[in-house]
Amino acid sequence: MKRNISISQFAIYSFIVLVFSACQYSKEPNTFSNKQVSIQFPSYLSESNDVYPAKNTLLQAKNDYRDVFFILVDHGQKPGNLGFEMMCDSIMSQLKKNMREPNIEANDSSFTIGNLKAKEFQISGVLSSEQQDHRFLFVIDVFEAPNGHIYQTAGWLLRHKRPLWLKDLQQAAYSIKIKE
């Protein structure tokens, strides 16, 4: 018995295939690169210009559907011998000031990636938009190059989605490479 497919059935099947294929992302990360720095970030994030509109932001990427955001910021030369620690404290203070109910999610960790001094913070807090409160988790990494230049990555997502996307944000931050 031969079965005929109508045009409407074919259109529905085609639409379903298109939707499923459009939701697939490459396993290969996207790469951002300029004269000073390069970094890889998940392919499900798209570059944007409305995530963190500051002049010193080099990369802004987001996925509104998954509520995942990532930025790379160039803070320039550290201010003096204690500039790295001062910058870390300043970033955390500003973040805490702009959220309600801040909660430290993980102890600060200091480590080295390649030839970069690094410090990571994880903090969650409530941010409000459109009369809705959302608890976001932020993972902040601050990097100091051997010449004293400071870069920062920040990734954030809805806290309850931590198991899904946190490792991706950390891998993106840890992929930073400074060109000498």
CA dihedral 105, 108, 110, 113 (to 10 degrees): 30
What pLDDT is recorded for position 107? 86
pLDDT reported for residue 21: 45
Residue located via tokens 């806290």: 159
* Distance from the first to the final alpha carbon of the chain: 70
Q: What 3-state DSSP class applies to 159?
A: helix
**Exposed, middle or buried, 89 (CB in 10 Å: 0-12/13-18/19+)?**
exposed
Over the chain (180 residues), what is each successive 10-residue block's mean pLDDT? Answer: 64 57 67 95 94 90 94 92 90 91 91 93 85 87 94 95 95 93
Q: What is the pLDDT of residue 24?
A: 53
Cα distances from 84 to residues 91, 96, 108, 148, 176, in angstroms, run 11, 19, 14, 8, 17
- CA dihedral angle for residue 118, residue 123, residue 126, residue 130, rounded to 10 degrees: 20
Going from N- to C-terminal start, the domains of the chain cover 26-178
Tokens of 94: 């500003």
Predicted local distance difference test score (pLDDT) of residue 80: 83
Q: What does CATH list as the number for 26-178?
A: 3.40.1000.10
Burial of 170 (0-12, 13-18, 19+ CB in 10 A): middle
